[in-house]
Amino acid sequence: MTQILNRLPDKYELNILCHYRNNTSTVQIIRITNIINWYFERVIFPGELLLFKALPEALLEIYSSDKITTMLRDRLVCARLKIK
């Protein structure tokens, strides 16, 4: 399933189209929190592809759950996720 969600505020003109695919067998939560006045969080199921617009300097945090706890697994700069 592919989703395109959440617009950046209009004041951010230099945004890029990014993608992230959950290639694991577990549910993940992805989050961008380093952009002022914009909060982005989604649940991504195994095999799911998410398309979203973000600033190149935005940090995508990837969390996965291990039964009881949720742990930060990775941080990716959105410029690396840009669709060409």
CATH numbers and ranges of domains, the chain = 2-81 (2.60.40)
Given pLDDT bands bounded at 50, 70 and 90, which one contains residue 83? very high
What per-residue string of b and e applies to 51-78 under the rule 16 or more CB within 10 Å gives b? Answer: ebbbbeebebbbbbeeeeeeeeeeeeeb
pTM: 0.79
Residue 40: both structure tokens together: 């982005």
Given pLDDT bands bounded at 50, 70 and 90, which one contains residue 3? very low
Q: What tens digit of pLDDT does each residue of 9-68 get?
A: 566 677 899 999 999 999 999 999 898 878 889 999 999 999 998 899 999 999 998 778
